Amino acid sequence: MKDIIVNTQYVYPNKYSILFTDSVRAITDLLEKHNGRKAMIVTDENVKRYYNGIIQRRISQGSNIYQLDEYVVKAGEEYKTSYTVDGILNELFKKQYAKNDLLISVGGGVINDLTGYVASIYKRGMTWATIPTTLLAMVDASIGGKTAINNDFGKNMVGCMYNPSCVMVDTSYLQTLPQIRLIEGIVELSKHFILFDENNFLDLKNIIKQTDNIKSVILSEEFNELLMESIKIKKKVVEEDQREAGLRKVLNLGHTIGHAIEKIDPTITHGLAVAKGTIAELTYGIKIGIVDKNSLEEITSFYSMMGVDYNIGVDSGVGVGVGKLKDKNIIIDKLIKYMINDKKKTKADKIPIVLINKIGEIYKDEESFTCDVDKNEMMHFLEDYVK
């Protein structure tokens, strides 16, 4: 597959490639280009367990790396903190890394965001390459330059915009991902098609329909093509709106309600919360006459095929929290509270949601790409919607 080049004049480095090929070549090229001699892999315990030694061999064989180090972080969102950042920084200083040496993240979105942040601040910016190993990181986290860590005040509260110099997408890593993680990656991947590309949405749906084994689909040629198409959409959006001032907001489809669900119940994984959020937000869109009803049906049947419970209510949900809260009114109160306090929100008492007119066609009013819903109106909607 052909490389994708991302150009972002406001975010440094201004140009980077997304490769679907051999990572050794890319690492060698990067080190040569920057005159670097050392590389440090940052990964987590799970990824290390599965790929212990393999990545190191792939990277060091045939490349001119003079020293290859590794820093292993504990796996999980709770380690995406300044404490972990300090640990990585100290290791880089101890080992006397230069700005032009290379930091390589190998992992999911957590490792990507964390390592990107370290790369952006180490000596005011060192070279960084990223190898995403989850589907979510391939289609989302590794593209667009958002680096971040969490703190006591919330998720992704600290960070900056900083690009990797290279993204290497190799779907063979996905073989060891649990099915649920693949499904949530597909939810994010399909979000790009729901917003911009009906044909590819229908093709994806068709592939999923024909199988009861998602893992085998992920490794197929057809799926790889769709993955690339989805990545191209994210690339286009982030190029057009590098600072999230306009168009990029559409990537929050399903995320306004989705993030609130995640906060109520952290055991509901991000992709599944986004699926629930997408259906709820689009149902609201039908209520106000914006969203095409057939499109919503296409999406709900797509989620159902993958066994995703897209409802919100006392009996729905994957883990505890939303699923186990006995009182629907408590669920609604909490959803509203979290949506009102969302860090992406700008207008008081308004809740911004992203809508489509139909699959492949984003909704836009004269002013913005979001539909600002009055807090009370959202509350009334949820009273009918939440089961």
Ligand X SMILES: NC(=O)c1ccc[n+]([C@@H]2O[C@H](COP(=O)([O-])OP(=O)(O)OC[C@H]3O[C@@H](n4cnc5c(N)ncnc54)[C@H](O)[C@@H]3O)[C@@H](O)[C@H]2O)c1
Residues near ligand X (CB under 6 A) are: 44, 46-47, 50, 75-77, 80, 107-111, 113, 133-134, 136-137, 140-141, 144, 146, 155-156, 173, 176-177, 181, 270
Compare residues 51 and 302 and give the one whose CB is closer to ligand X.
51
Closest CA to 223 of 346, 294, 139: 139
Compare residues 79 and 302 and give the one whose CB is closer to ligand X.
79
CB of 343 to ligand X, least distance (A): 12
Compare residues 17 and 156 and give the one whose CB is closer to ligand X.
156
d(CA 331, CA 314): 8
CB of 184 to ligand X, least distance (A): 7
d(CA 106, CA 130): 6
d(CA 161, CA 145): 5
CB of 106 to ligand X, least distance (A): 8
Compare residues 143 and 386 and give the one whose CB is closer to ligand X.
143
Token couple for 205: 């749906």
Residue, CB closest to ligand X: 109
CB of 327 to ligand X, least distance (A): 29
Q: With contact defined as beta carbons under 8 Å apart, do 208 and 305 qualify?
A: yes
Compare residues 11 and 332 and give the one whose CB is closer to ligand X.
11
d(CA 352, CA 244): 14
d(CA 355, CA 352): 10
Compare residues 110 and 312 and give the one whose CB is closer to ligand X.
110
* 35 burial level (CB within 10 Å; 0-12, 13-18, 19+): exposed
CB of 201 to ligand X, least distance (A): 20
Compare residues 133 and 256 and give the one whose CB is closer to ligand X.
133
Produce one character per residue of 44-83: b if its CB has 16 or more CB atoms within 10 Å, e if not.
bebbbeebeeebbebbeeebebeebbbbbbebeeebbbee
CB of 164 to ligand X, least distance (A): 11
Torsion angle, alpha carbons of 351, 356, 357, 361, to 10:
150
CB of 380 to ligand X, least distance (A): 31
CB of 33 to ligand X, least distance (A): 24
- The kind and range of the H/E element at 173 are none
Count the neighbouring beta carbons within 10 Å of the beta carbon of residue 170.
16
Compare residues 55 and 296 and give the one whose CB is closer to ligand X.
55
Omega into 178 within 30° of 0, i.e. cis?
no
DSSP-derived secondary structure for 252-305: GTTHHHHHHHHHH-TTS-HHHHHHHHHHHHHHHHHHTT-S-HHHHHHHHHHHHH
d(CA 271, CA 183): 8
Compare residues 177 and 183 and give the one whose CB is closer to ligand X.
177
Compare residues 107 and 285 and give the one whose CB is closer to ligand X.
107
CB of 139 to ligand X, least distance (A): 9
Please name the residues in contact with 381: beta carbons below 8 A apart, sequence gap of 6 or more. 284, 287, 373
d(CA 103, CA 86): 15
CB of 43 to ligand X, least distance (A): 9
